[in-house]
Structure 1
Amino acid sequence: MNKNAFLPGVTGLALLLLVAVPVSFVVLQAIFPHLDTSNYSAPFTAFSRVFTEPQMLALVATTLKVGLGVALCSALIGVPLGALRGLFRLPGAALWDVLFLVPFLLPPYIAALSWMLALQTNGYVQQLLPWLHLNAFLFSLPGMIAVMTLNIFPVVYFAVSRSMAASGSRLADVARIHGAGAVQAFIRITLPMALPAMASSLLLAFTLSIEEYGVPGALGSRSGILMLTTGIEQRLADWPIDLPGAAVLSLVLVAMALCAYSVQRAVLAGKNVESLTGKPADVTPKPLSGWTFPVLALFSLVALIAVALPLASMLATAFSGTLSGGLAFSNLTLRHFAALFDVHGDALSALSTSLSLASATALIAGATGFLASWLVVVRKIRGAAMIDGLSLLPAALPGIVVGVGLILAWNRSFWPVTPYNTWGILLLAYCCLLLPYPVRYVSAALKQIGGNLDAAARVHGASAAQTLRLILLPLVLPSLLASMMMVFAVASRELVTSLLLSPAGVQTVSVFVWRQFEQGSVGDGMAMASVAVLLSLTLMLAAFRLSQRQA
């Protein structure tokens, strides 16, 4: 093989296996309902069957309600907090940023289970405040939206705060000088400058919420609220298994996610607000003056609800001997953590499996993302647009769709060797879902470097592999390592594909926690969740610090 074609060939093969194959089989199964028997008759009949089912409209409507509700509630929380953080001198600003990073990094299914333990009848909140009854609210559509909002609103908070901090308040001050009031200057000047970031983050919040399975699976299953994600899981879990129906619902979910991304791009393209003064913006934050205490009280209230309560609920359960024992010193125990390290139990095996899979995912996704970014940004080879599209496509693919695609693709008799029903299928799923992380990080780093170094090395006789290894890799290594730590942290607690694809005898951390709750061993599940959350938060904060240093 031509040496110049080796690296592009390896990258193309990796993207084909990780992304193109599962997506193609979802599309094929939806079009040809009898594909599993190699029968291509009655094309598109699955669409008419699924679309005419009585519950179809309810699934789509509920999914849209949840997505729009989470986006709206995230705006109500994230925009005011982000504006205060970006425009004013907030005491302990870095601490608030770290605290509000926690809900987004907390696995949604663990957050949902923690809220169940806190707010259900005789839960922790009712033990402390007997007059407060929130069980009915929790197991309802508004309750599900509230729990998802508390996980997702940091997306809006960070986007708005960074945007307003970058644009500053100088133009608003000019408007104040010319007679505008404070509110009018904010609405007419400051807010439009941040509209692109707001629109982008709100549409991202919408997409994240419609793709989520953990919260609907934990709360919706008990209240009869079904979304597209839980509807897909039911068709795969209940007998008879409905592969064509699951594929059709998967395409509907992908279409909704792609529509959200298309709207996001359209909004950003049409509403790009820039300052044309030619002068740098004044980024000096304003003092809060007499509003310092109310603003700190607001930030503290949000941190208490979104961060402290779910974490406290998780830890209280992990350290409680029994749930019926309640919040009492006599009920404290370490036996749930001790059970995790019992050599005869499943917990240690699950933790080992998750760490091994997460490590392999970080290496494979990191290497593939690095090569794909290099081919697209630096080499600009023929077919770069296809490589770029395939490497970023998983960002619009819900995890459950990737799981369905891998089942459809690899559970076939014509494959001489298949990863199906082995740990390899989980590795493929994780790599597919998390590939966009290294692609985005490394692409941004390579764009800052430019193509001159690569060209100079090639002129002086270096091969493509030598240039890549000796020059470009050391320069982008901090960004690549940061992305790989993010991949490791997310892969170590991924739920939906793990539930769909885990073969018999193989458990990951997320599957272990989920099954402990189903079996009633809540303390063991929350002890494992505590360890997983601590590991994920530590690695993601390390990645955040590393990327900040690189910036």
Structure 2
Amino acid sequence: MRSPGPVVWGAAFALVVLVLIPLSFIVLQAIFPALGQGSLSAPFTRVADVLTEPGLLRMTRNTALLGLGVVAGSAVIAVPLGVLRALFRVPLAPLWDILLLVPFMIPPYIATLGWIMTLQPNGYLTQLTGLNAGPYLFSLWGVVFVMTLGAFPVVYFAVSRTVEAIGGRYADVGRVFGASPFTAFRRVTLPLALPGLMASLLLVFAMTIEEYGTPAALGRQSGFEVLVTGIDTRVSDWPIDLPGAAILSLILVMMSLGAFLVQLRILSRRSFETVGGKPQAFHKRPLGVFAIPVVAVFALVSLLAVGVPLFAIFATALSKTLSGGLAADNIGFGHFRAIAADENGAFQALLNSLGLGAATALITGLIGAATSYAVVRTQFRGKGFLDALTVIPNAIPGIVVAVGIILAWNQPWLPVTPYNTPLILLMAYCCILLPYTVRYANAAFRQVGDNLEAAARVAGATPLTAFRRILLPLVLPSLISAMLLVFAVATRELVASILLAPVGMATISIFIWRQFDQGSVGLGMAMSAVTILITTTIPLAVTLMSGRRGLM
């Protein structure tokens, strides 16, 4: 371990600019309401006003209800499926795993728009069956339903992998002592899987209360407002209320951070050992007469989580007019041609997002590698604080990051500012997505022995040269994987884009959102289809190319 060098100081500077400054300004703005005018007078005067507003309790309650509702729905769907996948020979099991990964590839707001096209009055469900589910969709339970279908795979994969690692031998011991299959599962297998299950459910809760697109698209039409949409209203609608937005942001951060800390506590304190030194053979049981019903359940869930949104997205994108409905003579590629022709700035928005996504992946990759090197392989005062700065964005909702950046870089006394330029979007994306590359790089650096760097130093290499020539190539495969994930998420990021995009600049998410607001639904869905294809095929192609070259 060596003292910090230029790599460490560069990482520290980047984290201060991207994470610490925006978060600090949120706290300062909440305390000093006149901060934007350069005054620190009347501290805490807005805190009492905001906390006593009648709508705050309702928004906080709605946020908690939404989070708990999605957690309950995810558990109801994912736990039985995950247990079946882990303990039994489910027909076509790899296919179901692949299909249940697809919701991660569809941005939540795009999936929501697909459900709107399906269930709204005279939507695809009405055209096919005559049923009208519009009143149900635009309600609390409609929001819970749509968000559950996007979130439950987190729990499914956690449960299936955890229970599979546990196996069935402990439950078999309970059976020997007279327990029924259900009792053995309830008293033995489920408690052993509880840490992984609870951690995944808490992660779903944090994801839900941070999500902007679905509550904004569905909840507002029924008067269902949550903290995220309340923050957006205070920042976007006149009169602008930055102190109120900062206070609501801190409340949301505390809720999200509370769930995140409980998750960490469960992972670190509630683990039960189920694997000894000797490997145990585990043979999954056949389903027998239940094989067909189980396959039917997997197929139904896959249809709802994957089939319906994708069908709605591509059906709308290929429809010449919405009024023409699902008819063969209404199918065409006009909306895709309009994107290629840059109609309404569509192609430029696509290029903007691809450029920002690539730049975000590159910058977060460099910062992640430098920060992980500093945390894992050096000793210096403040290393724990630097590591904490890389974790904080995990617990900060994207809308809070956007508010913090507005407050930090829109101050009138700043001589130069990135505000109202594309750089401000890049800074927001890097802050939100930096934890992905840091965690991947941390794990990779811990696998590299100290002797390689020491040998380079003995041969006369400087710390920077040893990092660049020895360590970075060794962690590059893990770093590329993280950067691909960052690229896929950054190209479709919604809430920070809406709040921070410079005047006249559009991204993919802004373009889609505006097309729905303006009634050009087909064009918006065509862009959604292009987004899904790009964020799936480009990372896959890069992964395959890297694998052939031996990088991954």
TM over 0.5: yes
Letter in 2 for 1:165: E
Pairing 1:244-393 to 2, within 5 Å after superposition: 244-275=243-274, 278-343=277-342, 345-393=344-392
Shift of 1:410: 0.5
Specify the alignment match of 1:402 in structure 2. 401
Q: 1:170 to 1:507 in 2, by over 3 A?
A: same
Aligned partners of 2:412, 2:245: CA distance in 1, in Å?
20
Pairing 1:105-120 to 2, within 5 Å after superposition: 105-120=105-120
1:317-337 per-position Cα deviation (integer Å, ceiling 9, x unaligned): 000011111100111111100
Aligned partners of 2:438, 2:86: CA distance in 1, in Å?
28
Aligned partners of 2:283, 2:545: CA distance in 1, in Å?
25
Which moves more between the two structures, 96-105 or 488-497?
A: 96-105
Shift of 1:276: 6.9
Aligned partners of 1:285, 1:453: CA distance in 2, in Å?
43
Q: 1:80 to 1:455 in 2, by over 3 A?
A: farther
Aligned partners of 1:461, 1:44: CA distance in 2, in Å?
57
1:496 matches 2:483: no
Aligned partners of 2:442, 2:160: CA distance in 1, in Å?
24
1:494-525 per-position Cα deviation (integer Å, ceiling 9, x unaligned): 00000001111100000000000001000000
Specify the alignment match of 1:176 in structure 2. 175
Shift of 1:185: 1.4
Aligned partners of 1:232, 1:348: CA distance in 2, in Å?
30
Q: 1:460 to 1:504 in 2, by over 3 A?
A: same
Aligned partners of 1:313, 1:111: CA distance in 2, in Å?
9
Aligned partners of 1:323, 1:192: CA distance in 2, in Å?
51
Shift of 1:164: 1.2
Specify the alignment match of 2:84 in structure 1. 84
Aligned partners of 2:27, 2:259: CA distance in 1, in Å?
20
Specify the alignment match of 2:67 in structure 1. 67
Contact conserved, 2:4 with 2:374, CA < 8 A, in 1? no
**Which secondary structure does the structure 1 equivalent of 2:274 belong to?**
coil
Matched-pair identity in %: 54
Pairing 1:101-250 to 2, within 5 Å after superposition: 101-130=101-130, 132-250=131-249
Shift of 1:367: 0.4
**Which secondary structure does the structure 2 equivalent of 1:346 belong to?**
helix
**Which secondary structure does the structure 2 equivalent of 1:357 belong to?**
helix
Shift of 1:136: 0.7
Q: 1:542 to 1:249 in 2, by over 3 A?
A: farther
Specify the alignment match of 2:448 in structure 1. 449
**Which secondary structure does the structure 1 equivalent of 2:5 belong to?**
helix
Pairing 1:465-476 to 2, within 5 Å after superposition: 465-476=464-475
Pairing 1:470-549 to 2, within 5 Å after superposition: 470-539=469-538
Letter in 2 for 1:91: P
Q: 1:102 to 1:344 in 2, by over 3 A?
A: closer
Letter in 1 for 2:66: V
Shift of 1:476: 1.4
Contact conserved, 2:6 with 2:464, CA < 8 A, in 1? no
Q: 1:548 to 1:197 in 2, by over 3 A?
A: farther
Which moves more between the two structures, 132-141 or 161-170?
A: 161-170
Which moves more between the two structures, 348-357 or 437-446?
A: 437-446
Structure 1, unaligned runs of 5 or more: none
Shift of 1:282: 3.4
Aligned partners of 2:405, 2:499: CA distance in 1, in Å?
10
Q: Under a length normalisation based on structure 1, what TM-score does the superposition of the two structures give? A: 0.96
Contact conserved, 2:410 with 2:419, CA < 8 A, in 1? yes
Specify the alignment match of 1:464 in structure 2. 463
Shift of 1:3: 10
Q: 1:322 to 1:533 in 2, by over 3 A?
A: same
Q: 1:547 to 1:159 in 2, by over 3 A?
A: farther
Shift of 1:547: 11
Q: 1:481 to 1:513 in 2, by over 3 A?
A: same
Shift of 1:471: 1.9
Contact conserved, 2:493 with 2:509, CA < 8 A, in 1? yes
Letter in 1 for 2:178: G
Structure 2, unaligned runs of 5 or more: none
Aligned partners of 1:257, 1:67: CA distance in 2, in Å?
10
1:32-61 per-position Cα deviation (integer Å, ceiling 9, x unaligned): 011001111111122101111110000000
**Which secondary structure does the structure 1 equivalent of 2:251 belong to?**
helix
Specify the alignment match of 2:33 in structure 1. 33
Aligned partners of 1:302, 1:546: CA distance in 2, in Å?
33
